[in-house]
A and B are shown apart, each in its own frame.
Chain A
Amino acid sequence: MQFIKPGININFIGRKKIAFVLSSAMVLISIISLVFHGGPKYGIDFAGGTLIQLKFSSPIKIGDIKASLSKMDIHISSVQEFGDRKDFEFLVRADSSAEITEDLSLEIEKALAAATGSSAEIRRVEMVGPQVGKDLREKALLAMFFALLFITIYISGRFELKWMLSGVMAGALMLSVYVLNFFHVSIPFLMAAALVVTLILFWVLELKYAMGAIVALIHDVIITIGIFSIVDKDFTLPIIAALLTIIGYSLNDTIIIFDRIRENLRKYHKERLDVILNKSVNETLSRTILTSLTTLIVLVALFLLGGAIIHDFAFAMIIGVLVGTYSSVFVASPILLAWKKA
């Protein structure tokens, strides 16, 4: 069986303008949504606070829960349905994380039993203090930063076969981060600065494969975060895990295409670059699609059947894999053309 016939020739590179407009629009919308929402919407892992998962034995209206909880002294910031509707499960979130947690869950139990008559089972309690939330936020950002950094070094070393250069570059990056750290710059800013420095270095040193790969990565991560922001989902630790996995995984397709481009460059060295790029993308198209497809199959299974706790993780991964597949064809490859024109 074959989805893609061997002789296929779709003009991908010729559509780079459309792709460019599309990608820019998606990135822009993502950033606008982030700005509009005042940054990513942090779950309690990062914002601090208390989360309680309740399960009722019989149907109950969310309004009733809200009404009975509103009489409590402790401010409840949100009540939402969780998981399957037939499970009657709800998430109650409070911003305060003081040592009231235990009382909070007890009080909620009491208040609900009194008001609704049906008893609730407390299935999960999570409390994160503000300091821990801040620590986790920093850790998550650092993890993303280091993942990008190491992958950058690996890509520039592996694709350009310039390990020395990539080592020097890594050194320069570390140094710039170290120096900036002296000025107590916030970590998001530090990351942005480091990425800008990386891209400038790539440009100056003409590390075009690395440039293509990293731009595609940043593109994927921004859009995934953006979509999360648009659908108003919380950022939690598992979502960071998903983003990191996307950083690692969405490169796979890019690597497959790039390897083929280099192979074809040797084979047809008289051909024009854009023709070779297009040929390479087409030749590897079946791989690009199949590898993403098998991963998507399991992710969709996880999304539909894995339960509410893992739901958002699967959702992030699905977006990441889709965007990653798109970007390796339409973002990473056309960037290689940038140098030809300059």
Chain B
Amino acid sequence: MWPHKKINLGLDLQGGMHLVLEVDTDKAVEDTIERITQELRSQVRKEHIRVLELERVKNNQISLRVKGAENIEKCQKLLDSEFKDLRLVSKSESDDILSLKLDLPDKEAEQIRKLAADQALETIRNRIDQFGVSEPDIRNQGENRILIQLPGIKDTKRAKMLIGRTALLEFKLLDEANDVAAALDGNVPPGSEILYEVAENASTHRTVKTPYLVQKRTLLTGASLTDARVEIDSQYNEPYVSIQFDKKGGRIFSQITEQNVKKRLAIVLDNKVYSAPVIQEKISGGAARITGSFTVEQARDLAIALRAGALPAPVKVIEERTVGPSLGADSIRKGLISMCIGGLLVILFMVIYYKASGVIADFALILNIVIIAGGLAGFQATLTLPGIAGIILTIGMAVDANVLIYERIREEMNLGKTPRAAVEAGYSRATLTILDANVTTLIAALVLFQFGTGPVKGFAVTLSLGVLASLFTALILSRLIFDYLLINRKMRTISI
């Protein structure tokens, strides 16, 4: 009917991947609190305030304890001027010690959550666009979920890795003043943490984990990147990712390298150390490289992730449905076969049982299917495997209306009415019953449409379309044919 529009096939028919991700928005709030804590710590240090305790504690609160009147006064001043957005949860003063618990106002936290969810969606869309998938469908679902549909995708593992990684790139200095071995024994100095380098030996397939003691403070993040691309090391013939900082990032990077010559700088991605080279000299120009034992594909995906930016919070796959293309093709074939066989049987049955009138019903039935197909294309709805089942079901149900009418006509003719009067009575008496019977099915289909997801929604669509189409074909179209035959062609008998 609309030849320029085609019917969209669902993932279960054309193959592809359906993912639902959950954005850990709590982590975004936690990170914000952690960042504020770090900021507060550096300010406190700058102002030479001595604090007993300053750290992020549970329930996303910052705990601050200060001793001495002078320290307390300076601390209050700092909080009032620089950190006035923080909400005071509790405050107690005893023995010259001030204890404070601070957190973010609910509205602020809510804002952060929402922003994280929106940003995650945007970032993932960017990554998928660069990965190159035709007609991806990416949308928000509820507050913190993202629905992703990737039709026809083959390498699902790679796609999932690319979409799901946080890709938070951080540059941190190693804590070389303390011993890694001591830290591993549980003696981690405050302000530092243990991060691992994980490398797989290409020939033995064994993974090796190397611990590093890294300062917690992040000097520079991937947010300052303008570009990331794959290049091949000419010496070792290994791929690496070269990154380019923006102006500010480049300046910070050259500062870091200038101030820390001969120290080791760890390149940390998603809390894993990729490399920790010794800074030989000041690096200006704002370029750096990330090495590691990458394959070209891994390097390419990492570059995409870095270009698209880090996710503001980690995401987790909470639903996945992947259908291979061969299974989809199988489903289409089997669906069509059962539709043809079922349809033919019904058509045959109607002709045998109702003779010429059966032919009219069959004509209406075929038109019905055409209308459903047109409706699917016209509404840009998606045809799924349950959707095909819905069409098949419609074939069986659409002739019901004709059966009701024909049985009534037969009844009226048995009472001795003329064909014309019988047809008249048949339609008028059966119409209300047919409407009622279809309305209940339509109610069920609409409720299903409202609550259903994916393939099942496709069923609700074809069933609703089918019910509506069969009302039209049975009550209006077949009636027109009868009227034409009986009134215009002045037929005296009807074959029913």
Interface residues of A (CB under 8 A from B): 1-2, 6, 53, 99, 101-102, 106, 121-129, 131-132, 136, 139-140, 142-143, 146-147, 150-151, 154-155, 158, 237-238, 240-241, 244-245, 247-249, 251-252, 255-256, 259, 283, 286-287, 290-291, 293-302, 304-307, 309-310, 313-314, 317
Contact B338 A306 (CB under 8 A): yes
Contact of A307 among B335, B432, B459 (CB under 8 A): B335
List residues of B (100-120) whose CB comes within 8 Å of A's CBs: none
Contact A147 B447 (CB under 8 A): yes
Q: Cβ of A106: which chain B residues have Cβ within 8 Å of it?
A: 157
CA A132 to CA B335, docked complex, whole Å:
29
Q: Cβ of B354: which chain A residues have Cβ within 8 Å of it?
A: 1
Given A241-B456, A248-B441, the answer on whether A123 and B327 have CB atoms closer than 8 Å is yes
Given A53-B327, A124-B327, A313-B386, the answer on whether A99 and B407 have CB atoms closer than 8 Å is no
Q: Cβ of A291: which chain B residues have Cβ within 8 Å of it?
A: 397, 400, 403-404
Q: Does B455 count as interface, using CB distance less than 8 angstroms?
A: yes
- Chain A residue, CB-CB nearest to B12: A309
Contact of A127 among B317, B334, B397, B440 (CB under 8 A): B317
Contact A305 B337 (CB under 8 A): yes
Contact of B456 among A150, A237, A286, A314 (CB under 8 A): A237
Interface residues of B (CB under 8 A from A): 12, 20, 22, 156-157, 160, 164, 316-324, 326-327, 330-331, 334-335, 337-339, 341-343, 345-346, 349-350, 352-355, 385-386, 388-389, 392-393, 395-397, 399-400, 403-404, 407, 410-411, 414, 432-433, 436-437, 439-445, 447-448, 450-456, 459-460, 463
CA A137 to CA B323, docked complex, whole Å:
23
Q: Cβ of A102: which chain B residues have Cβ within 8 Å of it?
A: 156-157, 160
The SS class assigned to the B binding surface is helix
- Having A132-B20, A136-B453, A237-B452, one finds 18 other A-B pairs with CB under 8 Å, namely A101-B317, A125-B321, A127-B319, A129-B22, A129-B316, A131-B318, A143-B448, A247-B440, A249-B444, A287-B407, A291-B404, A298-B338, A298-B342, A300-B342, A306-B338, A307-B335, A309-B12, A310-B386
Given A238-B386, A287-B404, A310-B386, the answer on whether A249 and B320 have CB atoms closer than 8 Å is no
Which residue, of B338, B345, B355, B385, has the highest number of chain A Cβ atoms within 10 A?
B338
- Chain B residue, CB-CB nearest to A289: B403
CA A47 to CA B373, docked complex, whole Å:
35
Which residue, of A132, A293, A309, has the highest number of chain B Cβ atoms within 10 A?
A309
Q: Cβ of B445: which chain A residues have Cβ within 8 Å of it?
A: 244-245, 248
Q: Cβ of A259: which chain B residues have Cβ within 8 Å of it?
A: 432-433, 436
Q: Cβ of A299: which chain B residues have Cβ within 8 Å of it?
A: 342, 392-393, 396
CA A84 to CA B330, docked complex, whole Å:
13
Contact A244 B447 (CB under 8 A): yes
CB distance from A32 to the nearest CB of B (A): 28
Contact A297 B342 (CB under 8 A): yes
Contact B407 A132 (CB under 8 A): no
CA A86 to CA B349, docked complex, whole Å:
32
Contact of A309 among B322, B331, B349, B442 (CB under 8 A): B331
CA A13 to CA B407, docked complex, whole Å:
22
- Chain B residue, CB-CB nearest to A246: B444
CB distance from B389 to the nearest CB of A (A): 5
Q: Cβ of B448: which chain A residues have Cβ within 8 Å of it?
A: 143, 147, 241, 244-245
The SS class assigned to the A binding surface is helix
- Chain B residue, CB-CB nearest to A138: B451
CA A294 to CA B345, docked complex, whole Å:
9
Contact A256 B443 (CB under 8 A): no
Given A6-B414, A297-B345, A313-B386, the answer on whether A245 and B441 have CB atoms closer than 8 Å is yes
CB distance from B460 to the nearest CB of A (A): 7
Q: Cβ of B451: which chain A residues have Cβ within 8 Å of it?
A: 139-140, 142-143, 146
Q: Cβ of A139: which chain B residues have Cβ within 8 Å of it?
A: 451, 453
CB distance from B308 to the nearest CB of A (A): 21
CA A291 to CA B440, docked complex, whole Å:
15
Contact A150 B341 (CB under 8 A): no
CB distance from A17 to the nearest CB of B (A): 29
Q: Cβ of B442: which chain A residues have Cβ within 8 Å of it?
A: 248
CA A155 to CA B350, docked complex, whole Å:
30
CA A249 to CA B456, docked complex, whole Å:
17
CA A252 to CA B450, docked complex, whole Å:
22
Q: Cβ of A247: which chain B residues have Cβ within 8 Å of it?
A: 440, 444
CB distance from B152 to the nearest CB of A (A): 15
List, sorted by A's number, 11 A–B pairs whose CB atoms are closer than 8 Å.
Answer: A132-B318, A143-B450, A150-B447, A154-B440, A252-B437, A255-B433, A290-B407, A294-B396, A298-B342, A300-B342, A305-B338
- Chain A residue, CB-CB nearest to B365: A294
CB distance from A60 to the nearest CB of B (A): 18
Contact B444 A125 (CB under 8 A): no
Contact B459 A241 (CB under 8 A): yes
CA A298 to CA B443, docked complex, whole Å:
22
Contact B323 A124 (CB under 8 A): yes
Q: Cβ of A241: which chain B residues have Cβ within 8 Å of it?
A: 386, 448, 452, 456, 459-460
The 9 A-B pairs with the shortest beta carbon distances in the complex, nearest first, are A248-B444, A301-B342, A298-B342, A129-B318, A295-B396, A143-B451, A298-B396, A307-B334, A248-B441
Given A256-B404, A297-B349, the answer on whether A238 and B342 have CB atoms closer than 8 Å is no
Which residue, of B157, B337, B393, B395, has the highest number of chain A Cβ atoms within 10 A?
B393
- Chain A residue, CB-CB nearest to B463: A245
CA A287 to CA B393, docked complex, whole Å:
18
Given A248-B445, A298-B392, the answer on whether A310 and B385 have CB atoms closer than 8 Å is yes
CB distance from A93 to the nearest CB of B (A): 14
Q: Cβ of B432: which chain A residues have Cβ within 8 Å of it?
A: 259
- Chain B residue, CB-CB nearest to A103: B157
Contact A286 B334 (CB under 8 A): no
CA A245 to CA B466, docked complex, whole Å:
13
CB distance from A167 to the nearest CB of B (A): 16
Contact A125 B407 (CB under 8 A): no
CB distance from A99 to the nearest CB of B (A): 6
Q: Cβ of B22: which chain A residues have Cβ within 8 Å of it?
A: 129, 131
CB distance from B22 to the nearest CB of A (A): 8
CB distance from A286 to the nearest CB of B (A): 6
Q: Cβ of A252: which chain B residues have Cβ within 8 Å of it?
A: 400, 437, 440-441
CA A125 to CA B153, docked complex, whole Å:
13
Contact A244 B444 (CB under 8 A): yes
Q: Cβ of B322: which chain A residues have Cβ within 8 Å of it?
A: 124-126
CB distance from A65 to the nearest CB of B (A): 19
Contact A237 B443 (CB under 8 A): no
CB distance from B397 to the nearest CB of A (A): 6
Contact A294 B346 (CB under 8 A): yes
- Chain A residue, CB-CB nearest to B391: A298
Contact B400 A245 (CB under 8 A): no
Contact A146 B447 (CB under 8 A): yes
Contact of B335 among A2, A150, A310 (CB under 8 A): A310
Q: Cβ of B330: which chain A residues have Cβ within 8 Å of it?
A: 307
Q: Cβ of A142: which chain B residues have Cβ within 8 Å of it?
A: 451
Contact A132 B319 (CB under 8 A): yes
CB distance from B462 to the nearest CB of A (A): 11
